[in-house]
Structure 1
Amino acid sequence: MSNLAPALLSALAILQAGPATTPPPNPSEGNTVESLVVTAPAKTDKEQITSFVSSVTATGSDKRVGRWDRKICPGVIGLKPAYAQVLLDRIAANAQAVGLEVGKPGCKADILIVASADTDALVRQAVKDNPDTFAKYEDGVSRGKKALQAFIDSQAPVRWWHVSSRKLSDGQTYVQGANVRVRSVGRVNANTRVDFDHVVIVLDARRVGVVRFSALADYVAMVSLAQINPDADTKGVSSILNLFTDKAAGVEPVEGMTDWDRAYLRGLYTARRDVRRGDRQEADVARSMGTTLAPPPKPEPKDEAEPKSEREKPDRSGR
């Protein structure tokens, strides 16, 4: 499964011939909700960072954390070209910030973003017609059947589904049950790793409502580059993941990814990949975030007693 199945693309292409979707707001337009002041937690709070990482990270059925390997190719269906380009540009910018390459125009999409005014029917039909694309009957490459059903039933403005490929720790693809040669075996390191194969992200135009398009684009970029827990509790943290909960609460949402979001992605893409347990990866992410978010050291105070110039130095003769 190196790319999204052509069958899925054909199934989703009915959007282009179907009812027109509600156009997203102009990037310069914002919410009309009343602004409130939100105090973010201290950036050096280790416990807060650890809680954030634990809450937002969704692991696969093997309880390990996945990520993209080297290169991505995002594609958009159902948005006007101008909006689609803004979305693609934001994903590309955030991907490049963590060291990923972005495929050239015409590449085969492995990140497919679909916008529609009737996502419920769309998702049900897409999963029914393309079970292999959603790994419906394959264990170990997604969050599992229960999570897939939650994805199908979701009423969220944006929903996402990641499918991984089977890779050895050196990046070699393997087939489950096949004999493979491994370099070493250990109690800490694993012989395999979790690389994303593709992700499907669905935007419901009616549920998204009126938000800054720049914020929506960064929200989509965040859930494109990381497998985020859709039920994550990020209250009290300044994060793009609060976009829709803030809006519902009457709080002015952030305009894009925050320092916390960027630090999380940076930590994810520098964490160890060949470990047996996902909690070790989460610890790597938390440590990286703690370093990234730590305030710069304060400059050392100058010694006022020290002479500032040759003229101010005392006369050694005692005069």
Structure 2
Amino acid sequence: MRPGSAAPVLFALALAIPSLAAAQETPETTVEDIVVLGTPLREQVETFADTVVAPPRGRGPARWSARSGICIGVVNLQREAAQAMADRVSEVALDLGLPIGEPGCSPNVLIIATDDAPTLTAALVERSPNAFRPPYSGSSRSRLQMRRFVESEAPVRWWHVSLPINSETGGIAVRLPGYPPPRTGVMGSRLTTVIQNDLKRVYVIIDIDQAESVTFQQLADYVAMVAFAQIDPDADLSGFPTILNVFDNPTIAFGLTDWDEAYLGSLYGAELNQRNPNAQSGAVAALMFRERRRVEAEMDADSPE
């Protein structure tokens, strides 16, 4: 396995799933253009940014920190397919400026393939409930969302765990059971804060049977998208050109679209120091709008008169 990947013994769940490596040979596909007619670009971007994200209640969007980096574990795929999945997710991480863990690191991006996702998910949550919902404020979404995660019938399901961090000191900014109160340091101003939300773990569980409708490349890019952003699994994104629609429309894209890359780049490039969580999402949307407007301007300049 490559640096940052983990052996399939992580959960002792050797299901001997058939290899998906052959699916990497992507057939020639017609990609459909999606245009939100009559909607200005700024409104499109703001609607997408507000709709797609699903952080814990009262928190702004979380992202992986370059301080801790990414360690990828792929479980229950044959070696070649697991390596290809880890490599592609690592490639996206590097594009976002995130370092990849060294061999033997403890996985914080855990990708698990199975032929019975509901049963496996329920077993993992029952065995380690605090791993999915740690006992501190701002760690994850609600118990209702946890139940939906367990009972989901989607081809891919995911669950994020985050931690509020003091961006000035790097220390934990929330009270943890058994630990002294955090040292908060300078708290910013009435409009800004030094508290940011860092992703600490993500579980991505793939139902192999249901994922057969897409190529391996599409699946790997879908996994990368939900691994690096707190995507709302219930969001209606049908009007947007995103890989997140690939299970409804397998011809929508070969992999991450320009729209997806603009969102991820803006999420990791925006200064998320606003006290209001909605303002943090607004900062992501503002940066994404500037990027998309720049791209459209370059396309218009290159197009013939």
TM range (shorter): 0.7 to 0.9
SS in 1 for 2:80: helix
CA distance in 2, matches of 1:284, 1:116: 37
CA displacement at 1:122 relative to structure 2: 0.7
Give the aligned partner of residue 227 of structure 1: 230
Q: Tell me what 1:239 maps to.
A: 242
Give unpaired runs (5+ residues) of structure 2: 1-7
Distance 2:35 2:25 in 1: 25
AA at the equivalent of 2:114: S
Q: Is the 8 A contact 1:53 1:282 kept in 2?
A: yes
Q: Name the structure 1 match of 2:125.
A: 127
Shift of 1:104: 2.2
- What is the DSSP-based 3-state SS (H/G/I as helix, E as strand, rest coil) of the residue aligned with 1:198? strand
Q: In structure 1, what is the equivalent of residue 221 of structure 2?
A: 218
Q: Which residue of 2 is the match for residue 155 of structure 1?
A: 153
Distance 2:191 2:271 in 1: 11
Question: Match of 1:27?
Answer: 24
Question: Which residue is 1:275 aligned to?
Answer: 274
Residue of structure 2 in register with 1:201 after alignment: 204
Q: Tell me, what secondary structure is at the counterpart of 1:15?
A: coil
Kindly state the Cα deviation for residue 245 of structure 1 after the two structures are TM-superposed.
1.3
CA gap of 1:99–1:28, structure 2 versus 1, over 3 A, is same
1:87–1:36 distance in 2 versus 1, CA, 3 Å: closer
Name the aligned partner's letter for residue 206 of structure 2: L
The question of whether the paired residues in 2 share the 8 Å contact of 1:243 and 1:253 is answered with: yes
SS of the aligned residue for 2:87 comes to helix
- 2:52 aligns with 56
Give the corresponding residue for 2:285: 286
- Corresponding residue for residue 3 of structure 1: none
**CA shift in 2, pair 1:236/1:181, >3 Å:** closer
Give per-residue Cα distances to partners, 1:229-271, cap 9 Å, x unaligned. Answer: 1012211221111110113xxxx23111011000000110112
How many residue pairs get aligned? The number is 284
> Letter of the aligned partner of 1:65 in structure 2?
P
Radius of gyration: which is bigger? 1
Q: Which whole-Å CA distance do the structure 2 matches of 1:142 and 1:253 have between them? A: 31
Give 3-state SS (helix, strand or coil) of 2:17's partner. Answer: coil
Q: Label 1:201 to 1:288 Cα distance change in 2 as closer, same or farther (>3 A).
A: same
The secondary structure found in structure 2 opposite 1:107 is: coil
Deviation (angstroms), 1:281: 1.5
List alignment gaps of at least 5 residues for structure 1: 1-8, 301-319
Partner of 1:146: 144
CA distance in 2, matches of 1:179, 1:289: 34
Q: Distance in 1 between matches of 2:42 and 2:165?
A: 33
Residues 49 and 286, structure 1, Cα contact 8 Å, conserved in 2: yes
Equivalent residues of 1:166, 1:173 under 8 A apart: yes
1:126 is displaced (CA, Å) by 0.6
8 Å contact kept, 2:59–2:197: no
| Range with greater deviation from structure 2 (235-244 or 40-49) | 40-49
1:148-169 deviation line (CA, Å, top 9, x unaligned): 1111111110010000123113
Structure 2 residue 187 is the aligned partner of structure 1 residue 188? no
Contact persistence 1:44–1:293 (CA under 8 A): no
Task: Tell me which amino acid in the other structure corresponds to 1:28.
Answer: E
Distance, in Å, in 2 between the alignment partners of 1:190 and 1:37 is 42
Residue type matched to 1:267 in 2? Answer: S
Q: 1:40/1:72 Cα in 2 relative to 1: closer, same or farther (>3 Å)?
A: same
Residue type at the aligned position of 1:48: Q
Q: Secondary structure at the match of 2:110?
A: strand
Among all aligned residue pairs of Structure 1 and Structure 2, give the percentage whose two residues are the same amino acid. Answer: 33
Question: Does 20-29 or 195-204 show the bigger shift?
Answer: 20-29
Q: Secondary structure at the match of 1:72?
A: coil
Q: 1:160 to 1:133 in 2, by over 3 A?
A: same
Cα displacement string for residues 195-223 of structure 1 (whole angstroms, at most 9, x for unaligned residues): 01111110000111131111111110111
Shift of residue 296, structure 1, vs aligned partner:
2.9
**SS of alignment partner, residue 120 of structure 1:** helix
Q: Under a length normalisation based on structure 2, what TM-score does the superposition of the two structures give?
A: 0.85
Match of 1:262 in 2: 261
| RMSD over aligned Cα atoms | 2.5
The code of the aligned residue for 1:210 comes to S
Supply the AA of the counterpart residue of 2:297: P
Aligned twin of 1:116 = 114
More off after superposition, 154-163 vs 137-146: 137-146
For 1:104 and 1:121, the matched residues in 2 are separated by 32
